[in-house]
Structure 1
């Protein structure tokens, strides 16, 4: 939400940088010494027409993000916990069976690092004579910021949301890119490979486009593809977010697909909050120039016989 409304010249920003309300990850980190929590409860309903079963329940997706050592580095813990009821209508005896389930659909920990930032040290020089020139499409905005992620996913024994026999720790990697366009548009791309080396290894892509109307309101659309031997889907999300304060954001979204194996409908509400302990680094070069200029002014005053900045003191 933040990146769609202000120019970017560093990792840390004065306003919270949340990955919500979508599920894609920004290429940028939260900033050194910034601790951020993001979470959202949701309701979900699935219906598998060929296999004749339904799933209804609720869950929560969550993330904890922390900037450490470098502006480009972020450590994060992410996960989704779901509690639902699976109703099976396939029984040959005609009886309907119900199975209550609860577990983590995913739980991962890792680190993200920005390897390329086209906005770093960029000079934004507006055209003082043309409004339209300032709003014109900038070809350099096609060059995205790029970050890489490496981490691990943990699955418990007998997890009903993954393929049978999948348990323990497995590697997870991701590439995240981000383009910031004029007019409050932002495009994010994630390419993810999860549970590497297991029978449930999947590849995911996430495309997110956001647009801000002003510094507080934003809407988004998202396409999320998942492909594995256990599950494949193409999900779509629509929603928006509201910036309540510089450290607090509220959001909502709806998720759906276009198939019946199973059909998916999910609605969530979420929030993001950050604890900002960031301190700006002092630019010693600029500080040195300011000190030199101050010494020059004092020297000039002494040379002119003026020892005070107050003209009343001089008269007295």
Structure 2
């Protein structure tokens, strides 16, 4: 990689670190992990994120196991404002449920959406919006540039509101869950020095149903080069139908400014049921973003407006000045 290319890649990396509220030159994906960033993809950006996976579950007390595959997917679009994002997300799974409680095992093939939701996310607070001046590097102190900044403890905050759409007799949802139900979320994001990012999601799902659940997701990401990122994540789920604590570890690779690859493993620490999964994901964006022009009165059109429209106006302007050029 030549020096020019290295400089370009490093510049793109810095852009993603310090201009999250605005459109970024490289893709801004929620992957790897399942948490949602506080920041949007940018206006007129259409982005797809998908992650095929394999899953294995074993429930020791109830003596059953599940094995199969699926895919989680998200479509994101930035509309009207830099802070606003519309999205569609879901998880589709196809598996075999095996009941081992009798001498002869019973197998059942299942397939359906574990989740399907449509919603919108809006960035309500961005502590990095006007931080260009205070984040300028100190040319005389290496340690000052590498030091911890207390301002990074203030997170960006976004809110999400959407609706779940659940089909009748879905094997992956609680009994009686069907139709439309609300979903809300608060997402926070801290961008620390050294390429560390902390994302937290607090989710209230299927509000108003008999089995509404609460989830928290905490993701810590570290980019140790312009192309490579690693992450660790914990997800807690609590409801009367299902409760769990899931852990994920993995990494991502920036293939190009519009294309990202990632992989992760998921597991838990219990046997009711035990969970183990492996996924391979990708994110791609269609970039139709156009920067808004800032009118500071110096454009050619503005200059033309200030010119005298005829000779009479030009003479009048000239007569208004004295011999020293003052009005």
> TM-score, normalization: structure 2?
0.86
Structure 1 residue 112 and structure 2 residue 121: aligned? yes
SS at match of 1:250: strand
Q: In the TM superposition, what is the alpha-carbon distance from 1:274 to its structure 2 partner?
A: 0.2
Question: Is 1:140 matched up with 2:151?
Answer: yes
Report the Cα distance in structure 2 between the residues aligned to 1:191 and 1:3, rounded to whole angstroms: 28
1:219 equivalenced with 2:252 (yes/no):
no
**Cα distance, 1:116 vs. partner?**
0.3
> CA, structure 1 residues 221+287, in 2 after alignment: closer, same or farther (shift >3 Å)?
farther
Distance 1:4 1:253, change over 3 A: farther
Distance, in Å, in 2 between the alignment partners of 1:4 and 1:58 is 36
| Distance (whole Å) between structure 1 residues aligned to residue 64 and residue 47 of structure 2 | 38
CA apart distance, 1:125: 2.3
TM-superposed deviation, 1:287:
4.6
Please, which moves more after superposition, 118-127 or 140-149?
Answer: 118-127
1:20 aligned residue (14, 28, 31):
31
Residue matched to 1:304 = none
User: Which residue does the alignment assign to 2:252?
Assistant: 241
From 159, 169, 187, the counterpart of 1:158: 169
Distance 1:243 1:89, change over 3 A: same
User: How many Å separate the matches in 2 of 1:274 and 1:286?
Assistant: 35
* Cα drift, residue 9 of structure 1: 5.6
Matched residue, 1:36: 47
Q: Provide closer, same or farther for how the CA distance between residues 75 and 3 of structure 1 changes in structure 2, counting only shifts above 3 A.
A: farther
Q: Deviations over 1:262-282 (max 9, x none)?
A: 000000001000000000011
Question: What pairs with 1:76-155 in structure 2 (closer than 5 Å)?
Answer: 76-91=87-102, 94-122=103-131, 123=133, 124-155=135-166
Structure 1 equivalent of residue 22 of structure 2: 11
The corresponding residue for 1:308 is none
Q: Could you list the structure 1 runs, at least 4 aligned residues long, displaced by more than 6 angstroms after superposition.
A: 1-4
Distance in 1 (alpha carbons) for counterparts of 2:216 and 2:44: 30
Q: Could you list the runs of 5+ residues in structure 2 that have no partner in the other structure?
A: 1-11, 307-327
What's the Cα RMSD here?
1.9
Q: How many residues align?
A: 291
Asked if structure 2 preserves the Cα contact closer than 8 Å seen for 1:110 and 1:151, the reply is: yes
* Alpha-carbon contact 1:2-1:16 (below 8 Å) kept: no
Match of 1:275 in 2: 286
Aligned residues of 1:222 and 1:236 also touching (Cα < 8 A):
yes
| TM-superposed deviation, 1:2 | 6.4
Change (3 A) 1:61 1:9: closer
Q: 1 CA distance for matches of 2:208 and 2:86?
A: 23
Q: Is the partner of 1:90 in helix, strand or coil?
A: coil
How far has the Cα of 1:95 moved from its partner?
1.8
CA distance in 1, matches of 2:290, 2:184: 30
1:231 aligns to what?
242
Query: What is the rounded CA distance, in whole Å, between the counterparts of 1:105 and 1:169 in structure 2?
Result: 14
SS of equivalent residue, structure 2 residue 152: helix
> Do the aligned residues in 2 keep the contact of 1:149 with 1:173 (CA within 8 Å)?
yes
Instruction: Name the structure 1 match of 2:203.
Output: 192
Deviates more, 1:117-126 or 1:242-251: 117-126
1:6 Cα deviation after fit: 2.7
Query: Aligned partners of 1:288, 1:4: CA distance in 2, in Å?
Result: 27
